[in-house]
Amino acid sequence: MAIEDAREMCLRMRGRQGVQIVGLHSHVGSQITHLEPLQHAAEALATLACELRRAGIEVEHLDIGGGLGIPYEGQPVPSASEYAAAVLPFVQKTGLALVLEPGRYLVGQLAA
């Protein structure tokens, strides 16, 4: 879903009985080997969370999903520290809890 559609849906659902928006989630892939897509997702979700807060919607967490890739053919991949440095500046300004899905970065290298 496009970020604009997510914004519209959240605003439309605001105050509906039985609906509580508790988090914003994205998944840009599980074999990401460049930080730009993850950084862009973090920035977009953080911006949306701040916009929703101004509209009276308090989300509890951001899930920037996806995950760092692993070097299948020797290509360079970012480290966990580089990942954190790329996304934390955007997430920290929201004060929200952060959920990550590092996936194959944690276990894929064991099999490589």
Q: Which parts of the chain are beta strand (E)? A: 23-25, 61-63, 97-99
Q: What is the pLDDT of residues 4-26, one digit of tens each?
A: 999 999 999 998 999 999 999 99
64: left (phi over 0), alpha (psi -120 to 50) or beta: alpha
- Report which DSSP code applies to 68: B
- Cα dihedral: 74, 38, 31, 104 (round 10): 100
Pair 57, 15: CB distance under 8 Å: no
The tens digit of pLDDT for each residue in 55-90 reads 999 999 999 876 788 887 778 888 888 989 999 999
Q: How confident is the model at residue 112 (pLDDT cuts 50, 70, 90)?
A: very low
Q: How far does the chain reach from its first CA to its final CA, in angstroms?
A: 33
Task: Give the integer Cα–Cα distance in Å for 30 and 13.
Answer: 30
Residue 53 has pLDDT above 80, yes or no: yes
pLDDT on residue 11:
96
Q: What is the pTM of this model?
A: 0.86
